[in-house]
Structure 1
């Protein structure tokens, strides 16, 4: 029974709450309606008052009010127009500033015709990257001074690779612009001793700028620098990409094959039997071994092209130069490919072994023992009737004597050299006389 009372009480409480919420909602709705009616009555009364006042005020006041409204509207339209034109004016002012700064950066400010970009590249200013970013058109980087130098060519003097990267990223055409002496930025970087910059520029320079068909001088000039600075890896890569460069000439008539003919003699030989070797010495030995390996690969390229008939005279000149410098490896490898090269003479009809004898290059001369036609070589005469023995009887070059101390030892060495050549000369021509009527002994 008690549970029934509790249930009834809860039902009554719920019903009461529901009735109270409904009553409160109804009262709120009536209050909002009353406020809305009051607001409408107030607005109607206000409009009525304004209408009555307007009807009562004179026409002069209406004109004044209309003029004020017109001025306010015109002011509002002017403000809107100003707001629309403001971005255009800012853009115009920005363009004017850019035009002014461009004229400053591209104006020639030195007596040699250098611009601000040339000067910045010369001193390696860090602001050059910011100035080039959307400020200077790429074609301005092709501007040259009175000596034909672009900013990139000037940058090769200091060797700051970051400056070169900034300039090249802006305009790659400047990689192919040479100065007044036909030197590309790549070549100048190596000439100035900046190998890091030179390697970067080599990685960015197209092969067409170095190919002998497009640029007859540039490839040979770069290889000349590579051989002088012993950057054989760059030379090897370039020759692998274009083997015609072996026979190209620079502006002085030098050919890369001539540099290869003296390459091994320019690499110092590592000393053997060293019992105490420090880390710097080991590093130096490893560098020399790497240079020799690269030189051997380059020599292999020369040997693979030795069958070219149109380059016989070039190979002969290279052999004469190798014999003069004592590069026995070059003479040996070329003679293995084509032994007939050993019989070719110069304009005086002197062959490779005559050059070896004249310059006292014993290692090259000893190659005659492995030649089947050594008697033909030993009995050959030049245009003046001199035999190889006559050549041995001439005075040795000064560098040879500089390695021997004292006139007595020098004379002894010269006699030994003469006897060595005489032993290979057939007895029938040992007493042969030249056009002047002199024998070798005389």
Structure 2
């Protein structure tokens, strides 16, 4: 080809790319009809051709026109790939555009299982991105092809060993995952317990996704959300969606109504929890005791090293320190104990009771893991297990820490001193006492390898928290005591000087206006302001005067004195304002009183609104002190440390293939 021909070809390519980028598809199709040699040429830096760009634009009509036009070159155009070996069908499947998938797939059904550079088929990408309808349509298109083998299902797995079930669960597409469980029943054992190159099964990923379960997802939600959640009824999915249902592709009016009124997301959440539980049960039904006992130990760039849990007499071997940089994949039971998925913990202990003795590389069993990660619901389940012996609770890790040592360690240090650390300290104490009361007697006096008892660890790890809380208490109490003292002084002055004065005709000195109904309001409210301001002042002064730094002081001072003192101070201010308004009733004439009434209403409304909005602040800590135990928060750590390493390995693989 001469230089002039090359230059002409480049000009055509630039013109075609410019028209496609600007969305001028009429010009693109016209050029497509006239210039046969540009139909498969790559026009972008990523080697996309015109059909790739048309699919990426999302215009199904343009894609249909191009597919219909290139009948003679159909195989060449439809199978053209970009720099990642993605065909146009790969892009359509990843976008979830069923109309484009149908058009391209009907033209060439073999494209459904064509792999890109990562070993991903269009069907795989549809599952990866949660495009349920596109995934189902591609699946039925594939299995109805005459050349399909009933035993060839290589399309469900990519190069790194991830199956479509791995990806659907890892990405949170449980509507797709439940379809996969039903569609691949003949491969259920192979797919459900298959380990990828990192060593993970779908069950590991499910255990590491606490938001997929009701017990962990609804924790901390508002009462309204929980009520709406309970209103919806979601049945388990008994079979996969049929092809006829896929072809209909229309939503029910009831779902549309729920979406319009804002309840759709709550319904979707309940569907996710229902199907996730169903997937978990299906996975565990096909798991073996050997599958549930394998701990994966591998160094990046090395092959997997699968080791079974050792028996108790070989416990020292199982607790050997791994090589630095080793990736450890624990059993699903251990991961579920870390994330607080009590549904999985209960089911695994029911089906595989011997797995309760398993320990990880740090020497921790599930009792120690539940205490370390502060999973109170899991800990409660373990306490109720009849088959648990004292030896399980008495077990220590490699550092000699028992469950009480781990519970005594500080969870997370919050920045907010007012509503954060005060509540956090109470939760820390209640959590520690809960674990102490659940453990066999005598463990609170045991030493670890650093010669520390649980009480020593608690005092040492919470020393800074108690100090900062004490400083905040003193500063807040001093500021509030000034306000409460001023309120007390004003309330005393008002109570001493009643409107209208006193009747001097007798020795008792009754108020002249004592029989007036408004005066009774003044009398009650002024007395209330004096009474509550006096109590609040005493509460604040007692905090400032106290020098105790004990744990009990941190437990009772903030909740019994400070918050009640602040509550009483606000109540005294409200009473003071009411008494002031009642006093003005006697001092103003009717005309002035009517003019001032709107101002009184506005100020009174703002005052009442302020008190009501602050009630959770005052009563919240008190209710927390008497409410059921809630484990304090801790630093968020993912229970499976593999994702970053996996991504790096994938990039290395792709670069090597390039």
> TM > 0.5 between the two?
yes
Within a 5 Å distance, the mapping from 1:35-114 to structure 2 comes to 102-114=36-48
Partner of 2:90: 153
Equivalent residues of 1:183, 1:218 under 8 A apart: no
Within a 5 Å distance, the mapping from 1:298-337 to structure 2 comes to 298-313=279-294, 317-337=331-351
CA distance change for structure 1 residues 389 and 415 in 2, over 3 Å: closer, same or farther? same
Equivalent residues of 2:157, 2:164 under 8 A apart: yes
* Equivalent residue in structure 1 for 2:394, among 361, 368, 379: 379
Most deviating of 320-329 and 309-318 = 309-318
Q: Secondary structure at the match of 1:259?
A: helix
Cα distance in 2 between the residues matched to 1:409 and 1:289: 31
Write out per-residue CA displacement over residues 162-211 of structure 1, whole angstroms, 9 at most, x where no aligned residue: 11111111222322233334433234335556443334334435570345
CA displacement at 1:344 relative to structure 2: 0.5
* Equivalent residue in structure 2 for 1:437, among 446, 451, 462: 451
Write out per-residue CA displacement over residues 252-303 of structure 1, whole angstroms, 9 at most, x where no aligned residue: 6543112322456435446138999995466555544443332232122133
2:239 aligned with 1:293: no
Partner of 1:138: 75
CA displacement at 1:250 relative to structure 2: 4.4
Equivalent residues of 2:192, 2:286 under 8 A apart: no
CA displacement at 1:408 relative to structure 2: 2.3
Write out per-residue CA displacement over residues 39-62 of structure 1, whole angstroms, 9 at most, x where no aligned residue: xxxxxxxxxxxxxxxxxxxxxxxx
* Equivalent residue in structure 2 for 1:390, among 405, 414, 419: 405
Within a 5 Å distance, the mapping from 1:6-405 to structure 2 comes to 102-123=36-57, 124=59, 126-133=61-68, 134-156=71-93, 158-192=95-129, 194-205=131-142, 208-211=153-156, 216-224=161-169, 227-228=172-173, 231-238=176-183, 240-243=185-188, 244-250=190-196, 253-263=199-209, 265-267=211-213, 268-269=217-218, 271-272=226-227, 279=258, 280=261, 286-313=267-294, 317-371=331-385, 372-397=387-412, 405=419
Equivalent residues of 2:120, 2:157 under 8 A apart: no
Q: Secondary structure at the match of 2:343?
A: helix
Q: Please report the TM-score for the alignment, with normalisation by the length of structure 2.
A: 0.46
CA distance change for structure 1 residues 233 and 333 in 2, over 3 Å: closer, same or farther? same
Q: Secondary structure at the match of 1:368?
A: helix
CA distance change for structure 1 residues 126 and 225 in 2, over 3 Å: closer, same or farther? farther
Q: Secondary structure at the match of 2:168?
A: helix
Whose radius of gyration is greater, 1 or 2? Answer: 1
Equivalent residues of 1:389, 1:440 under 8 A apart: yes
CA distance change for structure 1 residues 321 and 405 in 2, over 3 Å: closer, same or farther? farther
CA displacement at 1:140 relative to structure 2: 4.0
Write out per-residue CA displacement over residues 368-403 of structure 1, whole angstroms, 9 at most, x where no aligned residue: 22222241211001122111111111222579x99x
CA displacement at 1:98 relative to structure 2: 11
CA distance change for structure 1 residues 192 and 333 in 2, over 3 Å: closer, same or farther? closer
Cα distance in 2 between the residues matched to 1:328 and 1:355: 13
For the aligned residue pairs, the C-alpha RMSD in angstroms reads 3.6
CA displacement at 1:101 relative to structure 2: 5.4
Partner of 2:611: none
CA distance change for structure 1 residues 215 and 173 in 2, over 3 Å: closer, same or farther? farther
Cα distance in 2 between the residues matched to 1:161 and 1:319: 39
Equivalent residues of 1:348, 1:383 under 8 A apart: yes
CA displacement at 1:311 relative to structure 2: 4.3
CA displacement at 1:347 relative to structure 2: 0.7
Write out per-residue CA displacement over residues 195-233 of structure 1, whole angstroms, 9 at most, x where no aligned residue: 433343344355703456998334344333563565443
2:431 aligned with 1:417: yes
Most deviating of 369-378 and 347-356 = 369-378
Q: Please report the TM-score for the alignment, with normalisation by the length of structure 1.
A: 0.67
Q: Secondary structure at the match of 2:399?
A: coil
Cα distance in 2 between the residues matched to 1:212 and 1:311: 22
Equivalent residues of 2:123, 2:155 under 8 A apart: no
Cα distance in 1 between the residues matched to 2:119 and 2:136: 19
CA distance change for structure 1 residues 311 and 321 in 2, over 3 Å: closer, same or farther? closer
> Structure 1 unaligned runs (5+)?
1-96
Write out per-residue CA displacement over residues 59-114 of structure 1, whole angstroms, 9 at most, x where no aligned residue: xxxxxxxxxxxxxxxxxxxxxxxxxxxxxxxxxxxxxx999855321122223212
Q: Secondary structure at the match of 1:138?
A: helix
CA displacement at 1:130 relative to structure 2: 4.1
Where is the helix percentage greater, Structure 1 or Structure 2? 1
Cα distance in 1 between the residues matched to 2:136 and 2:229: 34
Write out per-residue CA displacement over residues 116-136 of structure 1, whole angstroms, 9 at most, x where no aligned residue: 222222223524334434232
> Structure 2 unaligned runs (5+)?
1-30, 144-151, 219-224, 233-256, 296-328, 457-658
Q: Higher relative contact order at CA 8 Å, sep ≥6: structure 1 or structure 2?
A: 2
Cα distance in 2 between the residues matched to 1:213 and 1:125: 28
Aligned length: 344
